[in-house]
């Protein structure tokens, strides 16, 4: 058998090259880590938040966000409602075709805390995330969320050929900057107003609008909020005037017949033009909006004020 003998200096040179390559790999990893912790921190956080979605396991959120939740607790929805299918043993023949039952249902709420954002998750007992919220905490952190997500030029061209229209997302929201009125893509003269809920407490406030886009939105519900979870740019506008015009905390409210038409609510319209969205919420197909187990989208300020 032929044996090949390498010169000693060649072996030393190869060892040096290999050692240098290993050192460069290690240096590159160290530099990348430093970048993510310094000037590239926000870009890294934007990338992480863009990966979140309903239906994922809570453990996936932990791996993407880089640490376990700071707060985890069980929340109970006492009036959780469910529509019964005809093959459900609780379904009663000969009664209304659409039957609904109410019962208590437990969920797990988790709150992840970063110096730039909060992430709230609502998951079931198996750890599947049914809904999540992202809240900006600082005036310099502005993650962007849009639907559909960013697509390449090929997909855009395919969209344009199929629809005959220039591609335009259903919404594009930059937290801390986008105003509520920017969600309105239709003719202002035909816009009849959003569905919203608003309230003011002793130390807190919240205003939320929900939007449902059907199949293009993957049958999810999207909620946009400004609240005392973070300091809105320019401060909070006249939210008490909104509640006054709505004659309550919800508009329109199907249980009331004393609410005004949208055209007769100038303070609410001004509020939406001046107020920036600071929390973005996605509610998956496994959870109806009226079954959302907490009053707040994102953490309540009192929950997190003792944490940095």
At 56 the pLDDT is 98
**pLDDT tens digits in sequence order for the chain, 308 residues long:** 566 665 666 666 666 667 766 666 665 555 455 544 556 899 999 999 999 999 999 999 999 999 999 999 999 999 999 988 888 888 888 777 788 999 999 999 999 999 999 999 999 999 999 999 999 999 999 999 999 877 778 888 887 787 677 778 889 999 999 999 999 976 767 788 999 999 998 888 899 999 999 988 999 999 999 998 877 665 567 899 999 999 999 999 988 888 999 999 999 999 999 999 999 999 999 999 999 999 889 998 778 888 88
At 24 the pLDDT is 63
- Nearest of 185, 190, 189, 205 to residue 275 by alpha carbon: 205
At 111 the pLDDT is 97
DSSP-derived 3-state class of residue 280:
strand
At 291 the pLDDT is 97
Farthest-apart Cα atoms in the chain, separation:
99
Return the axis-axis angle of helices 41-50 and 8-37, rounded to nearest 10°. Answer: 80
Sheet strand arrangement including 129-136? 71-83, 100-113, 117-123, 129-136, 279-283, 221-227, 205-212, 195-200, 250-251
DSSP-derived 3-state class of residue 174:
strand
Compute the distance between CA of residue 61 and CA of residue 48 in angstroms, rounded to an integer: 9
Residues 6+ apart with CB under 8 A from 304: 70, 71, 111, 113, 118
Q: pTM for the complete prediction?
A: 0.84
At 184 the pLDDT is 92
At 121 the pLDDT is 98
């Amino acid at each position: 058998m032929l044996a090949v003998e390498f010169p000693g200096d060649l072996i030393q040179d190869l060892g040096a090259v290999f050692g240098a390559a290993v050192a460069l790999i290690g240096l590159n990893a160290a530099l990348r880590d430093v970048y993510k912790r310094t000037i590239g921190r926000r870009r890294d956080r934007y990338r992480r938040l863009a990966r979140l979605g309903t239906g994922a396991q809570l453990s996936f959120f932990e791996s993407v966000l880089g640490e376990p939740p700071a707060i985890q607790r069980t929340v109970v929805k006492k009036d959780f409602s469910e529509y019964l299918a005809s093959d459900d043993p609780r379904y009663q023949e000969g009664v209304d075709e659409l039957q609904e039952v109410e019962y208590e249902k437990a969920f797990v709420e988790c709150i992840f805390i970063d110096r730039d954002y909060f992430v709230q998750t609502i998951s079931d007992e198996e750890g599947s995330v049914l809904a999540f919220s992202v809240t900006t905490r600082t005036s310099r952190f502005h993650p962007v969320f849009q639907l559909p997500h960013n697509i390449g030029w090929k997909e855009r061209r395919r969209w344009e050929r199929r629809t005959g229209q220039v591609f335009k997302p259903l919404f594009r929201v930059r937290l801390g900057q986008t105003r509520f009125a920017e969600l309105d893509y239709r003719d202002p003269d035909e816009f009849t107003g959003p569905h919203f809920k608003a309230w003011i407490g002793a130390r807190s406030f919240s205003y939320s609008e929900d939007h449902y886009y059907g199949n293009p939105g993957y049958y999810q519900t999207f909620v946009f909020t400004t609240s005392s979870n973070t300091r809105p740019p320019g401060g909070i506008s006249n939210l008490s005037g909104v509640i006054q015009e709505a004659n309550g905390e919800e508009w329109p409210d199907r249980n009331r017949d004393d609410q005004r038409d949208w055209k007769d609510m100038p303070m609410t319209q001004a509020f939406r033009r001046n107020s920036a969205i600071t929390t973005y919420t996605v509610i998956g197909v496994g959870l109806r909006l009226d079954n959302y187990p907490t009053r707040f989208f994102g953490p309540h300020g009192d929950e997190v004020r003792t944490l940095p």
